[in-house]
Structure 1
């Protein structure tokens, strides 16, 4: 199951202090006969399913999202864990987050972001998944066009209706900026191209079965139904957002 990794956390994980809503550790995870460094975090069952689904769907449409994992964690690996728990895991990416680049050289960082070939793709994906939590702390940047998207725990929010806009979309807002109507027309065309693969994106049945066992079937079915149904309203949502975008980009974590 190459698209979803399944492993066990080894002792020695180090906590990552980045003002995370959910505590995060970086440690070694055994995957069969191999060992890989990952970020792991404890989340409630629905959020676990959201993280896995968004990572898999995003990767399937070509976005640079680290491979997700289900990681078994015991009190031997992390003192305080009761019995055995399943954490969400993500392959470790060594790049710093964009927030650090913004603090050192904001002009260069924003220039590279504006030239990133996946900027519109990522913004459309965030609108599709209802993810208003994209900020400089969950965009990793390694220089040039080397970007990666992490942390989708706030995607597919419980109270968001399929035809309603995400509360915010910083990437599309930035891409539109204070552009002329002609440039906005070009962005809309790019967005239509970006959204074309969404209808064919899916998660394999065996992975959905695993998630249903960790969460429950109605929850997982509702998450997938949200994505499928939202496609019908997506271009209207994106067009409205791009047409009314503001020029500022608040990528610093609030």
Structure 2
């Protein structure tokens, strides 16, 4: 598993996407390797920041496509931040992901002709990682996977973004982390109804495959490599670890229900 790197947000970032719930910027960051990269920078509270970091690490570990994530340091006066947690020397912590320069699925559909929309939707429906996506979102209790949280490029580039509402939501507390509970999986609201019976069957196979991969999962490494154990309280970190480990046994059930294609156990 790749450890989340640190980066420093440089001056020159500008706000974008006014429809976002949280303040989002696009601008240059300096990586640990000494490279300057264009990135998307998100002003998040501590809970959402940790959600994003863990979700990114898990997606990478299990071969789901996410832009490379980093933990960003913002010096005083560099950005107008409202939610980002503060550390020493007045610096703030933000979530950083490299800019893959492709539009989200919702925007892509809105800007296309009806004929092109049909082609785009067909590509999404036939994506070979549909089942893994359902399973992943069920595992991390992501309650906000709408079409704007998929980036869709050409010809078949798909990226998963915006995981601040994982682990039951953006402001979860310890009592919210119930491993067996069926949380809302928004894929069931818009993607499931687009899938044919054959596509659901393929998705069900993907769910089973993903569920087998995470069986007996030990979350020690992800808590360490995401850096969440460094910035979150020990009680909250332990609760997240236990949630991930105990929830694996329910992923097959919940993801299959969201897909609308029960999988025999």
Q: Which TM-score bucket, shorter chain as reference? A: 0.7 to 0.9
1:124–1:10 CA distance, 2 compared to 1 (3 A): same
Contact 1:60/1:201, CA 8 A, preserved across alignment: no
Q: Say which of 92, 96, 103 aligns to 2:103.
A: 96
Q: Does 1:212 align with 2:223?
A: no
Q: 1:6-49 CA deviation, whole Å, 9 max, x = no partner?
A: 01110000111241121011111111321111111121112211
Q: Say which of 213, 230, 253 aligns to 1:236.
A: 253
The TM-score normalised by the length of structure 2 is 0.81
Q: Say which of 119, 122, 142 aligns to 1:111.
A: 122
The 5 A counterparts of 1:89-238 are: 89-103=96-110, 104=112, 105-157=116-168, 158=172, 159=176, 161-170=178-187, 174-175=191-192, 177=194, 179-180=196-197, 184=200, 186-199=202-215, 200=217, 202=219, 203-204=221-222, 206-207=224-225, 210-238=227-255
Distance 2:80 2:185 in 1: 38
Distance 1:106 1:205 in 2: 40
Of stretches 196-205 and 137-146 in structure 1, the one that deviates more from structure 2 is 196-205
Deviation at 1:60, TM superposition (A): 0.5
Contact 1:123/1:172, CA 8 A, preserved across alignment: no
Distance 2:196 2:81 in 1: 52
Of stretches 144-153 and 185-194 in structure 1, the one that deviates more from structure 2 is 185-194
Partner of 1:14: 14
Distance 1:164 1:131 in 2: 12
Distance 2:156 2:254 in 1: 27
Q: Give secondary structure in 1 for the equivalent of 2:214.
A: helix
1:127–1:206 CA distance, 2 compared to 1 (3 A): closer
Deviation at 1:168, TM superposition (A): 2.6
Deviation at 1:2, TM superposition (A): 5.0
Gaps of at least 5 residues in structure 2 are none
The TM-score normalised by the length of structure 1 is 0.85
Q: Give secondary structure in 2 for the equivalent of 1:145.
A: coil
Distance 1:49 1:240 in 2: 27
The 5 A counterparts of 1:2-81 are: 2-32=2-32, 33-79=34-80
Question: Pairwise CA RMSD of aligned residues?
Answer: 2.6
Contact 1:132/1:155, CA 8 A, preserved across alignment: yes
